[in-house]
């Protein structure tokens, strides 16, 4: 079974349509297991990563993955020294796993028994162990025995050169990891959210933490061949970070992260199969990052566009409410229709902004133009304005009577908060102030710009 | 120095009995020779200046920080065997409120101990969580993501989580911190209910003005127990003087300053 997925071993070549289909539709057995294996690995990484992200341990997974390199090097040297094939995969991965666990204990030990902060401990452990790994690789290159070629594949990852057996191992391990996460979902959630509380209920917090770390080591180690140790952290962290933009619910976040991870795994494995000299790791990272960017912009919960849109809506609503209130107050003092010049004096708005506001108010039917220079509230506009003014004045009266704020200052304070008063709060204000519903009380202070 | 509760004989069935407990952080002792029996069905205040070790007392009793020496028993048995009987409300700042869960999810965590390993949350436990939320007046906010709750509401959610534990002894770490007056009254009403139902509630408390209104039993703490007993006996000028080092008014200002510098 030495079938190798790499389409061509020399030169940069774009695949032709037939190859493209063959890989995308996974017609070869080998392609199929490799792509499936890496996809399931992506899924498991996304789920485990969700907990790492929430546990604020994103960087720990980076330290773990870097620490696997000396493990691989040492395992290779030992196996070669005892006369075996240094590249026996099981041995290499065992060495990687042991060093991954060692890295975790180093970080925990450094933070617990010295006064070092955890970022310092992480930086030390990561760089020292990775440096050690590079030194080992240097030694190995000078060794005669053992067949050192291909060790660097663990650094960048090359799914395309994986054997079906190896891909099967990935598949099975990833399934086990995903299963453990599902079974311990409740426990991991509790430990990530509130360790102290979890401990008082008798959950073995330390052990659960350790199981989570072992999952991370597991993802890292089985992902080494496919993704490479430098970039495996991206598979753990980027999908959950992207998922957070879409949901406020942990189980959905884990599902989305798993899905994004699987998609990036799939694309990473297929693209690296298609294109010569394209390592899997970078493709997976780039795919995941692309989806992260999309989530950042479009995410329903926390996406930038949604937040900007919400802000724009708020600004518009506030502007409209200012206009309606100004017109209502002028109408109270007898201006009907209202001259635009008089409106100008009510607030510090520019003529352009005022005109724009008026135009928008006309479009939604709150205001009608009487002439070039004067406008009036429509019936609908009047009703809307009455509500706005009412809320404003209720809040002002509340501030004066209950918060001891001078009447001359309440206008500004009320201005800041009235636009966010919800129905529930208004109702409470009405009850507190014992005013009858649906009528605006008179203003508790003289109005600016009123001719009265 | 001598505490009225320091007796060699501990009552066998006190809800919480702490015997000669000493706690140290980085080898510096923060609590010395803590020794008292908390009586059943009382609201017990733990009062003392900043850095007196009030939170540490609770955490050490719950095995959250290691004890150098001493024995803690809950209804006469070690805490390990009695976890089900103890409800805990940690400080609100101890968790990340941006965590992707809603109010009901947090309260359901109070049931995890009863649900057990690897089992999913069933409808029965979700109903119990809703009931607890209802008791603290937060039923309408069950689906609200916890970061969207105000400080007082978050505190109520924590209280509801402890209620959902259906415990006999409750340990609460500053449940009134950062809470408005209305919420404080609401929480107090719930604590009174717990007391009338025969539960014992220990509360770490800051506000000396409300001490005699709220608590019928009191522990004055400043790295050691200055005095412990019924509020009427313990809450005296002399004792406060001992607890707060004689500069009661200055101290709270100084403490605020220190807190700001941290």
Instruction: Please tell me the predicted confidence (pLDDT) of residue B5.
Output: 44
Nearest-Å Rg of the Cα atoms of chain A is 32
pLDDT at B161 over 90: yes
pLDDT category of residue B139 using cuts at 50, 70 and 90: very high
pLDDT category of residue A443 using cuts at 50, 70 and 90: confident
Please report residues of B whose CB lies closer than 8 A to that of A244: 100
Which domain range does residue A272 map to? 17-300
The pairing of beta strand B43-47 with beta strand A374-377: unpaired
Subunit contact A196:B83, Cβ cutoff 8 A:
no
- Looking at residue A237, which CATH number applies to its domain? 1.10.3470.10
Query: B74 at the A interface (CB within 8 A)?
Result: no
**Higher pLDDT among residues A145 and B150, named by residue:** B150
Mean pLDDT check: name the lowest of A207-211, A334-338, A364-368: A334-338
Tokens of A409: 């200052």
Query: B144 at the A interface (CB within 8 A)?
Result: no
pLDDT category of residue A416 using cuts at 50, 70 and 90: low
Do A192 and A52 lie in one domain? The reply is yes
Using CA coordinates, name the residue in chain B closest to A240. B100
Tell whether omega for the bond before A116 is within 30 degrees of 0, i.e. cis. Answer: no
H or E segment to which residue A423 belongs: helix A423-433
Query: In angstroms, what separates the C-alpha of A185 from chain B's closest C-alpha?
Result: 8
Do A190 and A239 lie in one domain? The reply is yes
**Chain centre distance of CA A149:** 39
* Nearest-angstrom CA–CA distance, A49 and A232: 11
The pairing of beta strand B67-74 with beta strand B43-47: unpaired
Instruction: Please tell me the predicted confidence (pLDDT) of residue B70.
Output: 92
**Higher pLDDT among residues A90 and A27, named by residue:** A90
Among the listed residues A105, A77, A104, A103, the one whose alpha carbon sits nearest the alpha carbon of residue A92: A77
CA distances from A379 to A321, A325, A366, A384, B76 (A): 16, 14, 8, 9, 75
**B interface test, pick of A248, A251, A310, A424 with most B CB neighbours within 10 Å:** A248
Please report residues of A whose CB lies closer than 8 A to that of B90: 194, 196-197
Nearest CB to B100 within list A183, A187, A253: A253
What average pLDDT does this structure show over A403-425? Answer: 67
Mean pLDDT check: name the lowest of A149-153, A323-327, B253-257: B253-257
A 17-56 residues with CB below 8 A of B? Answer: 54, 56
Among the listed residues A198, A280, A295, A172, the one whose alpha carbon sits nearest the alpha carbon of residue A231: A280
Please report residues of A whose CB lies closer than 8 A to that of B105: 250
pLDDT at A98 over 50: yes
Of chain A, the end-to-end C-alpha distance in Å amounts to 96
pLDDT at A239 over 50: yes
Q: Is A375 helix (H, G, I), strand (E, B) or coil?
A: strand
Q: Is A204 helix (H, G, I), strand (E, B) or coil?
A: coil
Do A263 and A406 lie in one domain? The reply is no
* Nearest-angstrom CA–CA distance, A50 and B222: 42
Instruction: Please tell me the predicted confidence (pLDDT) of residue A163.
Output: 82
* Nearest-angstrom CA–CA distance, A254 and A76: 36
Subunit contact B64:A199, Cβ cutoff 8 A:
yes
Do A282 and A318 lie in one domain? The reply is no
Please report residues of B whose CB lies closer than 8 A to that of A196: 59, 62, 64, 88, 90, 94
Among the listed residues A223, A187, A229, A185, the one whose alpha carbon sits nearest the alpha carbon of residue A204: A187
Do A271 and A321 lie in one domain? The reply is no
- Of the three residues A300, A327, A357, the one that is the final residue of a domain is A300
Q: Under a CB-based contact definition with an 8 Å cutoff, are residues B197 and B190 in contact?
A: no
pTM over the 0.95 mark? no
**Higher pLDDT among residues A383 and A420, named by residue:** A383
Query: In angstroms, what separates the C-alpha of B130 from chain A's closest C-alpha?
Result: 18
* Cα torsion A91, A94, A96, A99: sign: negative
Query: Bridge-partner residues for B73, per DSSP?
Result: B17, B78
Subunit contact B99:A54, Cβ cutoff 8 A:
yes
Location of structure tokens 């109070």 = B110
- Other CB atoms within 10 A of residue B184 CB: 17
CA distances from A386 to A325, A363, A394, A413, B253 (A): 8, 19, 12, 19, 47
Nearest-Å Rg of the Cα atoms of chain B is 18
Query: B141 at the A interface (CB within 8 A)?
Result: no
* Nearest-angstrom CA–CA distance, A410 and B104: 38
Using CA coordinates, name the residue in chain A closest to B114. A201
H or E segment to which residue A369 belongs: strand A367-369
**What digits encode the pLDDT tens for the residues B206-219?**
888 899 899 999 99
Do A73 and A54 lie in one domain? The reply is yes
Subunit contact B120:A186, Cβ cutoff 8 A:
yes
Do A144 and A31 lie in one domain? The reply is yes
- Other CB atoms within 10 A of residue A30 CB: 18
Q: Under a CB-based contact definition with an 8 Å cutoff, are residues B203 and B187 in contact?
A: no
pLDDT at B167 over 90: yes
Query: A202 at the B interface (CB within 8 A)?
Result: yes
Please report residues of A whose CB lies closer than 8 A to that of B167: none
B 213-252 residues with CB below 8 A of A? Answer: none
Nearest CB to A201 within list B94, B113, B120: B113
**Chain centre distance of CA A146:** 44
Instruction: Please tell me the predicted confidence (pLDDT) of residue A346.
Output: 82
What are the backbone angles phi and psi of residue B44, rounded to the nearest 5°? -115, 125
pLDDT category of residue A173 using cuts at 50, 70 and 90: very high
Subunit contact A248:B145, Cβ cutoff 8 A:
yes
Nearest CB to B86 within list A186, A187, A200: A200
pLDDT category of residue A86 using cuts at 50, 70 and 90: confident
- Of the three residues A278, A300, A322, the one that is the final residue of a domain is A300
Do A287 and A313 lie in one domain? The reply is no
Query: In angstroms, what separates the C-alpha of A240 from chain B's closest C-alpha?
Result: 12
Nearest CB to B83 within list A54, A186, A200: A200
pLDDT at B60 over 70: yes
pLDDT at B103 over 60: yes
What average pLDDT does this structure show over A97-116? Answer: 91
Subunit contact A190:B94, Cβ cutoff 8 A:
no
Do A231 and A314 lie in one domain? The reply is no
A 252-281 residues with CB below 8 A of B? Answer: 253
What average pLDDT does this structure show over A298-319? Answer: 90
Give the count of domains, chain A. Answer: 2
**Chain centre distance of CA A27:** 35
B 109-128 residues with CB below 8 A of A? Answer: 109, 112-113, 115, 117-121
pLDDT category of residue A444 using cuts at 50, 70 and 90: confident
SS (H, E, C) chain B: CCCCCCCCCCCCCCCEEEEEEEEEECCEEEEEEEEEEECCCCEEEEECCCCCCHHHHHHHHCCCCCEEEEEEEECCEEHHHCHHHEEEECCHHHCCCCCCCEHHHHHHHHHHHHHCCCCCCCHHHHHHHHHHHHHCCCHHHCCCEHHHCCHHHHHHHHHHHHHHCCCCEEEECCCCCCCCHHHHHHHHHHHHHHHHCCCEEEEEECCHHHHHHHCCEEEEECCCEEEEEEHHHHCCHHHHHHHHCCCHHHHHHHHHHHHHHC
DSSP string of A140-176, one letter each residue: HHT-SSS--TTTTHHHH--GGG--HHHHHHHHHHHHH
Q: Looking at this predicted complex, what is its ipTM?
A: 0.89
Share above pLDDT 90 across residues of chain A, in percent, rounded to a whole number: 39
Q: Output DSSP code: residue A418.
A: G
Contacts 24+ apart (CB under 8 A), B5-8: B5/B35, B5/B36, B5/B37, B5/B225, B5/B228, B5/B229, B6/B35, B6/B36, B6/B225
Do A285 and A393 lie in one domain? The reply is no
Location of structure tokens 């995890």 = B112
Query: B20 at the A interface (CB within 8 A)?
Result: no
Domain range summary for chain B, segments of one domain joined by +: 16-98+168-261
A414 inside domain: yes
Sheet holding A367-369, edge to edge: A338-339, A374-377, A367-369
Location of structure tokens 């001493």 = B70
Instruction: Please tell me the predicted confidence (pLDDT) of residue A166.
Output: 83
B 82-101 residues with CB below 8 A of A? Answer: 83, 86, 88, 90, 94-96, 99-101
Do A395 and A253 lie in one domain? The reply is no
pLDDT at B249 over 90: no
Query: A66 at the B interface (CB within 8 A)?
Result: no
Contacts of A388 (CB under 8 A, 6+ apart): A321, A324, A325, A328, A418
Query: In angstroms, what separates the C-alpha of A305 from chain B's closest C-alpha?
Result: 20
Tokens of B223: 């790295």
Superfamily of domain B16-98+168-261: P-loop containing nucleotide triphosphate hydrolases (3.40.50.300)
Nearest CB to A201 within list B105, B112, B119: B112
Query: In angstroms, what separates the C-alpha of B142 from chain A's closest C-alpha?
Result: 13
**Higher pLDDT among residues A414 and B97, named by residue:** B97
What average pLDDT does this structure show over B48-77? Answer: 91
Do A274 and A327 lie in one domain? The reply is no
Query: In angstroms, what separates the C-alpha of A315 from chain B's closest C-alpha?
Result: 21
Instruction: Please tell me the predicted confidence (pLDDT) of residue A3.
Output: 36
Tokens of A378: 């429509």
pLDDT category of residue A262 using cuts at 50, 70 and 90: very high
- Looking at residue A332, which CATH number applies to its domain? 1.10.10.10
**Higher pLDDT among residues A95 and B251, named by residue:** A95
What average pLDDT does this structure show over B131-160? Answer: 94
**What digits encode the pLDDT tens for the residues B3-44?**
444 444 566 789 999 999 999 877 777 888 899 999 999 999
H or E segment to which residue A203 belongs: none
């Amino acid at each position: 079974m030495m079938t190798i997925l790499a389409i061509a071993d020399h030169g940069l070549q774009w695949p032709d349509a037939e190859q493209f289909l063959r890989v995308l539709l996974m017609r070869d057995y080998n392609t199929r297991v490799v792509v499936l294996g890496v996809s399931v690995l992506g899924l498991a990484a996304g789920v485990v990563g969700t907990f790492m992200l929430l546990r604020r341990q994103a960087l720990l997974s980076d330290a773990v993955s870097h620490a696997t390199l000396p493990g691989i090097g040492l395992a290779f040297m030992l196996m070669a020294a005892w006369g075996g094939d240094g590249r026996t995969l099981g041995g290499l991965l065992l060495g990687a796993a042991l060093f991954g666990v060692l890295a975790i204990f180093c970080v925990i030990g450094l933070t617990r028994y010295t006064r070092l902060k955890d970022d310092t401990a992480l930086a030390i452990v990561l760089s020292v162990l990775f440096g050690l790994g590079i030194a080992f690789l240097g030694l190995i290159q000078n060794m005669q025995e053992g067949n050192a070629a291909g060790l660097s594949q663990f650094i960048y990852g090359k799914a395309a050169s994986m054997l079906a057996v190896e891909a099967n191992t990935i598949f099975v391990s990833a399934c086990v990891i995903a299963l453990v996460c599902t079974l311990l979902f409740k426990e991991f959630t509790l430990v990530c959210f509130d360790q102290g509380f979890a401990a008082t209920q008798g959950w073995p917090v330390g052990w659960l933490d350790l199981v989570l770390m072992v999952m991370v080591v597991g993802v890292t180690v089985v992902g080494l061949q496919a993704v490479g140790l430098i970039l495996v952290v991206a598979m753990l962290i980027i999908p959950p970070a992207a998922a957070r933009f879409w949901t406020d619910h942990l189980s959905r976040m884990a599902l989305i992260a798993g899905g994004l991870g699987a998609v990036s795994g799939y694309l990473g494995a297929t693209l690296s199969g298609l294109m010569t000299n394209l390592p899997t790791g970078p493709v997976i990272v780039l795919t995941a990052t692309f989806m992260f960017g999309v989530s950042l912009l479009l995410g329903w919960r926390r996406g930038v566009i949604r937040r900007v849109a919400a802000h724009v809506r708020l600004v518009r609503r506030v502007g409209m409410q200012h206009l309606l209130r100004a017109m209502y107050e002028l109408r109270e003092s007898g201006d009907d229709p209202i001259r635009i010049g008089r409106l100008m004096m009510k607030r510090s708005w520019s003529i352009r902004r005022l005109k724009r506001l008026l135009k928008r108010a006309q479009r939604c039917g709150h205001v009608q133009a009487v002439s070039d220079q004067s406008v009036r509230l429509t019936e609908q506009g009047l009703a809307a304005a009455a509500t706005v003014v009412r809320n404003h004045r209720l809040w002002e009266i509340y501030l004066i009577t209950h918060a001891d704020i001078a009447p001359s200052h309440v206008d500004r304070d009320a201005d800041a908060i009235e636009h966010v008063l919800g129905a529930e709060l208004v109702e409470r204000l009405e009850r507190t102030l014992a005013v009858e519903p649906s009528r605006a009380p008179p203003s508790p202070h003289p109005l600016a710009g009123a001719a009265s | 120095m001598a505490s009225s509760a320091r007796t060699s004989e501990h009552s066998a069935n006190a809800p919480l009995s702490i015997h000669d407990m000493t706690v140290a952080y980085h080898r510096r002792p923060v609590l010395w020779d803590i020794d008292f029996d908390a009586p059943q069905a009382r609201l017990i205040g733990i009062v003392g200046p900043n850095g007196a070790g009030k939170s540490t007392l609770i955490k050490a009793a719950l095995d959250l920080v290691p004890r150098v020496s001493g024995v803690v028993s809950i209804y006469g048995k070690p805490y390990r065997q009695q976890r089900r009987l103890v409800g805990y409300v940690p400080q609100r700042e101890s968790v990340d409120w941006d965590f992707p869960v809603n109010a009901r999810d947090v309260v359901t965590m109070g049931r995890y101990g009863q649900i057990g390993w690897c089992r999913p949350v069933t409808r029965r436990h979700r109903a119990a969580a809703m009931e607890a939320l209802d008791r603290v007046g937060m039923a309408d906010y069950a689906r609200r993501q916890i970061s969207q709750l105000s400080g007082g509401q978050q505190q109520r959610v924590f209280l509801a989580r402890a209620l959902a534990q259906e415990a006999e002894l409750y340990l609460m770490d500053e449940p009134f911190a950062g809470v408005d007056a209305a919420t404080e009254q609401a929480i107090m009403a719930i604590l009174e209910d717990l007391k009338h139902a025969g539960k014992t509630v220990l509360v770490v408390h800051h506000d000396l003005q409300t001490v005699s209104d709220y608590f019928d039993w009191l522990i004055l703490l400043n790295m050691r127990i200055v005095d412990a007993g019924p509020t009427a006996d313990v809450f005296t000028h002399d004792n406060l003087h001992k607890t707060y080092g004689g500069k009661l008014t200055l101290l709270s200002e100084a403490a605020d300053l220190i807190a700001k510098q941290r």
